Copies of this chain bind each other. A is one copy, B any other.
Amino acid sequence: MIMEKKRVRLTVAYDGTNYHGWQIQNNGITIESELNRCLSDLLGEPVEVIGASRTDSGVHALENIAVFDTESPMPAEKISYALNQRLPEDIRIQRSEEVAADWHPRHCKSRKTYEYRIYRGEFPMPVRRLYAYFTYRSLCVEDMREAAAYLVGEHDFKSFCQTGAQVESTVRTIYLIEVEEQGVELVIRVCGNGFLYNMVRIIAGTLMEVGQGRRAPSDMPAILDAKDRRAAGPTAPAHGLTLMRYEFL
């Protein structure tokens, strides 16, 4: 009996609070390890997913992408329902569908949108503590917007890449950055063709320094030109970050 193999794409949402990030690690449960465990269990064969964005510990996602190959006769569209029965409730498949056998989530053009959320108040708000970074400092939103505008376009974002990351090129394109006020929360929304390690969190940390008046918006070109991580601001904490959307072009 010849089993037909197919490649299945999953759209995966998760609350990153209780995970050691996406990628499999020796010392903790990850989104990838939970997907592999539950898929292997469901389909009765060893399954290993390939993820699109290997988000850090504490980072959330409404739409991350994973693919895997299977010989199971289960229709690709049904896998979402069956898999959600086995996954812990802080991981939920939003969609499952068959894709071409050679489709790879990191080898095709895509556009990703991240949001970094900041809760501004005198005291933290418990129901937002896991999803927005708390600050009691006042932030000048106009200055943050002016600074953000310098990052739009194709640039070498080496200054906004965690040192130690191994990548061929540190050039990326940012299509859009918005700094949006939603009541007491401030949302930094960044859409680009790809992001370096910790790039959105370093952008958020740098824009917050601008908002506090510790840097001028007009400092941004020099930060980019430095191509040195030390030129940019701190890496903002992980829990404020959410991967919102993944679009394949």
A129 within 8 Å of B by Cβ?
Answer: yes
Chain B residue nearest to A242 in the complex (CB)? B127
Do B127 and A60 touch (CB < 8 A)? yes
> Which residues on B sit within 8 Å (CB–CB) of A203?
none
Question: Are B62 and A15 in contact, with the CB atoms below 8 A?
Answer: no
A131 touching B127, Cβ below 8 Å? yes
A13 to B124, CA, bound (A): 9
This protein's copies in its complex: 2
Interface pair A124/B62, CB less than 8 Å apart: no
Whether the Cβ atoms of A129 and B84 lie closer than 8 Å is no
Q: How far is the CA of A131 from the CA of B127 in the complex (A)?
A: 8
CB–CB A13/B91 < 8 A? no
Say which residue of B15, B80, B123 sits within 8 Å of A126 (CB atoms). B15
Contact of A89 among B62, B84, B91, B126 (CB under 8 A): B126
Contact indicator per residue, chain A 1-29, by CB within 8 Å of chain B (1) or not (0): 00000000000011100000000000000
Residues of A112-166 whose CB lies within 8 A of B: 121-127, 129, 131
Known contacts: A80-B123, A94-B123. The answer to whether A89 contacts B129 by CB under 8 A is yes
Per-residue CB proximity of A65-90 to B under 8 Å, as 1/0? 00000000000000010001000011
With A13-B127, A15-B126, A90-B129 already in contact, 9 other A-B pairs whose C-beta atoms are closer than 8 Å: A13-B123, A89-B124, A89-B126, A89-B129, A90-B126, A92-B125, A94-B122, A94-B123, A127-B242
